[in-house]
Structure 1
Amino acid sequence: MFRRTFWFTAGAAAGVWATTKVNRKIKQLTPESLAAQAADKALETGHRLKDFALDVRDGMVRREAELGGALGLHDPVDAGLPPRHHLAVEAAAPLGEAGGPHRTTTYRTLPSNSNNRNEDH
Protein backbone atom coordinates (compact mmCIF):
# COMPACT_ATOMS: atom_id res chain seq x y z
CA MET A 1 0.00 0.00 0.00
CA PHE A 2 2.85 2.37 0.79
CA ARG A 3 4.32 1.67 -2.65
CA ARG A 4 1.11 2.60 -4.43
CA THR A 5 0.82 5.84 -2.46
CA PHE A 6 4.45 6.71 -3.25
CA TRP A 7 4.00 6.16 -7.01
CA PHE A 8 0.65 7.97 -7.07
CA THR A 9 2.23 10.99 -5.36
CA ALA A 10 5.28 10.88 -7.67
CA GLY A 11 3.02 10.74 -10.74
CA ALA A 12 0.85 13.62 -9.51
CA ALA A 13 3.96 15.74 -8.81
CA ALA A 14 5.38 14.95 -12.27
CA GLY A 15 2.05 15.89 -13.85
CA VAL A 16 1.89 19.21 -12.01
CA TRP A 17 5.52 19.95 -12.93
CA ALA A 18 4.96 19.12 -16.63
CA THR A 19 1.74 21.13 -16.80
CA THR A 20 3.40 24.16 -15.25
CA LYS A 21 6.35 23.91 -17.64
CA VAL A 22 4.10 23.57 -20.71
CA ASN A 23 1.90 26.51 -19.64
CA ARG A 24 4.97 28.68 -19.09
CA LYS A 25 6.29 27.80 -22.56
CA ILE A 26 2.91 28.50 -24.18
CA LYS A 27 2.83 31.95 -22.55
CA GLN A 28 6.33 32.65 -23.90
CA LEU A 29 5.21 31.85 -27.44
CA THR A 30 2.20 34.17 -27.56
CA PRO A 31 2.50 37.04 -30.09
CA GLU A 32 2.49 39.68 -27.34
CA SER A 33 5.28 37.94 -25.47
CA LEU A 34 7.34 37.47 -28.64
CA ALA A 35 6.89 41.17 -29.51
CA ALA A 36 8.00 42.19 -26.01
CA GLN A 37 11.05 39.91 -26.22
CA ALA A 38 11.97 41.37 -29.64
CA ALA A 39 11.62 44.92 -28.30
CA ASP A 40 13.82 44.09 -25.31
CA LYS A 41 16.49 42.60 -27.59
CA ALA A 42 16.35 45.66 -29.86
CA LEU A 43 16.81 48.01 -26.90
CA GLU A 44 19.67 45.92 -25.58
CA THR A 45 21.35 45.93 -28.99
CA GLY A 46 20.89 49.69 -29.26
CA HIS A 47 22.53 50.22 -25.88
CA ARG A 48 25.42 47.96 -26.84
CA LEU A 49 25.93 49.84 -30.13
CA LYS A 50 25.85 53.17 -28.30
CA ASP A 51 28.42 51.92 -25.77
CA PHE A 52 30.60 50.64 -28.62
CA ALA A 53 30.40 53.99 -30.43
CA LEU A 54 31.32 55.87 -27.25
CA ASP A 55 34.27 53.52 -26.66
CA VAL A 56 35.47 54.05 -30.24
CA ARG A 57 35.13 57.83 -29.88
CA ASP A 58 37.08 57.80 -26.59
CA GLY A 59 39.80 55.71 -28.21
CA MET A 60 39.96 58.08 -31.18
CA VAL A 61 40.33 61.12 -28.93
CA ARG A 62 43.00 59.40 -26.84
CA ARG A 63 44.94 58.27 -29.92
CA GLU A 64 44.61 61.69 -31.55
CA ALA A 65 46.08 63.28 -28.42
CA GLU A 66 48.95 60.76 -28.43
CA LEU A 67 49.70 61.45 -32.08
CA GLY A 68 49.41 65.21 -31.59
CA GLY A 69 51.88 65.03 -28.72
CA ALA A 70 54.26 62.82 -30.70
CA LEU A 71 54.15 65.13 -33.72
CA GLY A 72 54.38 68.29 -31.63
CA LEU A 73 51.12 69.75 -32.89
CA HIS A 74 50.22 71.16 -29.48
CA ASP A 75 53.65 72.68 -28.81
CA PRO A 76 54.05 76.48 -28.94
CA VAL A 77 55.24 77.83 -32.27
CA ASP A 78 58.95 78.66 -32.32
CA ALA A 79 59.86 82.17 -33.58
CA GLY A 80 62.57 80.73 -35.83
CA LEU A 81 60.14 78.59 -37.82
CA PRO A 82 58.44 79.86 -40.98
CA PRO A 83 54.88 81.11 -40.47
CA ARG A 84 51.94 78.83 -41.11
CA HIS A 85 50.14 79.29 -44.42
CA HIS A 86 46.53 80.38 -44.45
CA LEU A 87 43.98 79.32 -47.05
CA ALA A 88 41.06 81.67 -47.64
CA VAL A 89 37.73 79.95 -48.19
CA GLU A 90 34.65 81.85 -49.29
CA ALA A 91 31.30 80.55 -48.18
CA ALA A 92 27.87 81.87 -49.03
CA ALA A 93 26.00 82.98 -45.96
CA PRO A 94 22.21 82.82 -45.73
CA LEU A 95 20.24 85.55 -47.47
CA GLY A 96 20.33 88.87 -45.63
CA GLU A 97 17.46 91.14 -44.84
CA ALA A 98 17.98 93.05 -48.09
CA GLY A 99 17.44 89.83 -50.05
CA GLY A 100 20.96 89.48 -51.41
CA PRO A 101 23.50 86.83 -50.41
CA HIS A 102 26.36 87.95 -48.20
CA ARG A 103 29.81 86.43 -48.61
CA THR A 104 31.98 85.68 -45.64
CA THR A 105 35.64 84.77 -45.74
CA THR A 106 37.06 82.29 -43.27
CA TYR A 107 40.66 81.23 -42.87
CA ARG A 108 41.93 77.74 -42.26
CA THR A 109 45.39 77.21 -40.90
CA LEU A 110 47.49 74.75 -42.84
CA PRO A 111 50.54 73.03 -41.37
CA SER A 112 53.86 74.50 -42.46
CA ASN A 113 55.21 71.08 -43.49
CA SER A 114 53.23 68.35 -45.15
CA ASN A 115 53.47 64.76 -44.02
CA ASN A 116 52.01 63.52 -47.31
CA ARG A 117 54.58 61.16 -48.81
CA ASN A 118 52.73 60.95 -52.13
CA GLU A 119 53.11 64.58 -53.23
CA ASP A 120 55.57 65.58 -55.94
CA HIS A 121 58.93 66.86 -54.75
Structure 2
Amino acid sequence: MFRRTFWFGTGVAAGVWATTKVNRKLRQLTPESLAATAASKALETGHRIKDRAVGFALDVRDNMAQREAELGDALGINAPVDPELPAPRRHAAIENRNSPKYAGNPTDPSYPTYSYNRNEDH
Protein backbone atom coordinates (compact mmCIF):
# COMPACT_ATOMS: atom_id res chain seq x y z
CA MET A 1 0.00 0.00 0.00
CA PHE A 2 2.82 2.42 0.81
CA ARG A 3 4.40 1.64 -2.54
CA ARG A 4 1.29 2.59 -4.38
CA THR A 5 0.92 5.81 -2.37
CA PHE A 6 4.58 6.69 -3.07
CA TRP A 7 4.19 6.18 -6.81
CA PHE A 8 0.86 8.01 -6.83
CA GLY A 9 2.48 10.98 -5.07
CA THR A 10 5.43 10.87 -7.47
CA GLY A 11 3.04 10.87 -10.44
CA VAL A 12 1.07 13.80 -9.03
CA ALA A 13 4.30 15.77 -8.44
CA ALA A 14 5.53 14.98 -11.97
CA GLY A 15 2.15 16.05 -13.39
CA VAL A 16 2.17 19.33 -11.47
CA TRP A 17 5.77 20.02 -12.52
CA ALA A 18 5.03 19.24 -16.19
CA THR A 19 1.83 21.32 -16.17
CA THR A 20 3.67 24.29 -14.64
CA LYS A 21 6.45 24.04 -17.25
CA VAL A 22 3.99 23.82 -20.15
CA ASN A 23 1.90 26.76 -18.88
CA ARG A 24 5.02 28.87 -18.41
CA LYS A 25 6.16 28.08 -21.95
CA LEU A 26 2.70 28.86 -23.37
CA ARG A 27 2.73 32.23 -21.62
CA GLN A 28 6.12 32.98 -23.19
CA LEU A 29 4.73 32.21 -26.64
CA THR A 30 1.79 34.62 -26.52
CA PRO A 31 1.99 37.50 -29.02
CA GLU A 32 2.27 40.12 -26.25
CA SER A 33 5.13 38.29 -24.59
CA LEU A 34 6.94 37.74 -27.89
CA ALA A 35 6.57 41.45 -28.77
CA ALA A 36 7.89 42.52 -25.38
CA THR A 37 10.86 40.16 -25.68
CA ALA A 38 11.65 41.36 -29.20
CA ALA A 39 11.42 45.00 -28.12
CA SER A 40 13.73 44.52 -25.15
CA LYS A 41 16.29 42.65 -27.28
CA ALA A 42 16.12 45.38 -29.93
CA LEU A 43 16.74 48.04 -27.28
CA GLU A 44 19.72 46.11 -25.90
CA THR A 45 21.15 45.73 -29.39
CA GLY A 46 20.62 49.43 -30.10
CA HIS A 47 22.43 50.42 -26.91
CA ARG A 48 25.32 48.09 -27.74
CA ILE A 49 25.62 49.48 -31.26
CA LYS A 50 25.44 53.09 -30.01
CA ASP A 51 28.18 52.46 -27.45
CA ARG A 52 30.42 50.92 -30.09
CA ALA A 53 29.72 53.75 -32.57
CA VAL A 54 30.52 56.41 -29.97
CA GLY A 55 33.76 54.64 -29.09
CA PHE A 56 34.64 54.33 -32.77
CA ALA A 57 33.91 58.02 -33.41
CA LEU A 58 36.11 59.05 -30.48
CA ASP A 59 38.94 56.83 -31.75
CA VAL A 60 38.62 58.31 -35.25
CA ARG A 61 38.65 61.87 -33.87
CA ASP A 62 41.76 61.19 -31.76
CA ASN A 63 43.61 59.55 -34.64
CA MET A 64 42.58 62.34 -37.01
CA ALA A 65 43.96 65.00 -34.66
CA GLN A 66 47.19 63.05 -34.25
CA ARG A 67 47.61 62.65 -38.02
CA GLU A 68 46.86 66.35 -38.64
CA ALA A 69 49.57 67.26 -36.15
CA GLU A 70 52.02 64.92 -37.88
CA LEU A 71 51.22 66.40 -41.28
CA GLY A 72 51.45 69.94 -39.92
CA ASP A 73 54.91 69.20 -38.53
CA ALA A 74 56.03 67.50 -41.75
CA LEU A 75 54.83 70.36 -43.96
CA GLY A 76 56.01 73.10 -41.63
CA ILE A 77 52.53 74.50 -41.10
CA ASN A 78 52.89 74.39 -37.33
CA ALA A 79 56.33 76.03 -37.45
CA PRO A 80 56.65 79.58 -36.10
CA VAL A 81 56.44 82.34 -38.70
CA ASP A 82 59.76 83.95 -39.64
CA PRO A 83 59.42 87.72 -38.92
CA GLU A 84 61.89 88.58 -41.72
CA LEU A 85 59.57 87.33 -44.45
CA PRO A 86 57.41 89.95 -46.15
CA ALA A 87 53.67 89.81 -45.89
CA PRO A 88 51.96 88.01 -48.79
CA ARG A 89 50.80 90.27 -51.60
CA ARG A 90 47.19 90.59 -52.53
CA HIS A 91 46.31 91.37 -56.11
CA ALA A 92 43.03 93.02 -56.96
CA ALA A 93 40.90 91.19 -59.47
CA ILE A 94 39.33 94.47 -60.67
CA GLU A 95 41.10 97.79 -61.05
CA ASN A 96 40.19 100.29 -58.37
CA ARG A 97 39.61 103.70 -59.93
CA ASN A 98 39.99 105.32 -56.51
CA SER A 99 43.58 104.13 -56.08
CA PRO A 100 46.44 106.68 -56.07
CA LYS A 101 47.59 105.26 -59.40
CA TYR A 102 44.66 107.05 -61.04
CA ALA A 103 45.16 110.37 -59.24
CA GLY A 104 45.78 113.06 -61.76
CA ASN A 105 44.37 114.53 -64.91
CA PRO A 106 42.63 112.08 -67.26
CA THR A 107 43.70 114.21 -70.24
CA ASP A 108 47.38 113.72 -69.34
CA PRO A 109 49.05 111.21 -71.75
CA SER A 110 50.64 109.32 -68.83
CA TYR A 111 47.19 108.67 -67.32
CA PRO A 112 46.44 104.93 -67.67
CA THR A 113 43.67 104.16 -70.09
CA TYR A 114 42.05 100.85 -70.88
CA SER A 115 39.82 99.96 -73.73
CA TYR A 116 36.39 98.70 -72.84
CA ASN A 117 35.86 97.13 -76.26
CA ARG A 118 35.82 93.42 -75.58
CA ASN A 119 36.42 92.58 -79.26
CA GLU A 120 39.50 94.75 -79.66
CA ASP A 121 41.97 92.08 -78.53
CA HIS A 122 40.65 89.41 -80.87
Which bracket does the TM-score occupy, shorter chain normalised?
0.5 to 0.7
Higher helix share: 2
Distance 2:55 2:72 in 1: 25
What corresponds to 2:80 in structure 1? 78
Which entry has the higher C-alpha Rg, 1 or 2? 2
Write the letter of the residue equivalent to 1:7.
Answer: W
Q: Which segments of 5 or more consecutive residues in structure 2 lack a partner in the other structure?
A: 89-122
What corresponds to 1:51 in structure 2? 51
Distance 1:62 1:11 in 2: 67
* TM-score between the two structures when normalised by the length of structure 2: 0.57
**Bigger RCO (CA 8 Å, 6+ sep):** 1
Write the letter of the residue equivalent to 2:18.
Answer: A
What corresponds to 2:20 in structure 1? 20
Number of aligned residue pairs: 82
Tell me the C-alpha RMSD between the 2 structures: 2.5
The superposition leaves residues 79-101 of structure 1 with CA deviations (integer Å, 9 ceiling, x where unpaired) of: 24x899xxxxxxxxxxxxxxxxx
Distance 2:31 2:11 in 1: 33
Q: Which runs of 4+ in 1 moved over 4 A?
A: none
Q: Which segments of 5 or more consecutive residues in structure 1 lack a partner in the other structure?
A: 85-121
Distance 1:66 1:4 in 2: 82
Q: How far apart are residue 40 of structure 1 and its match?
A: 0.9
Higher strand share: 1
What corresponds to 1:42 in structure 2? 42
Q: Percent identity?
A: 57
* TM-score between the two structures when normalised by the length of structure 1: 0.58
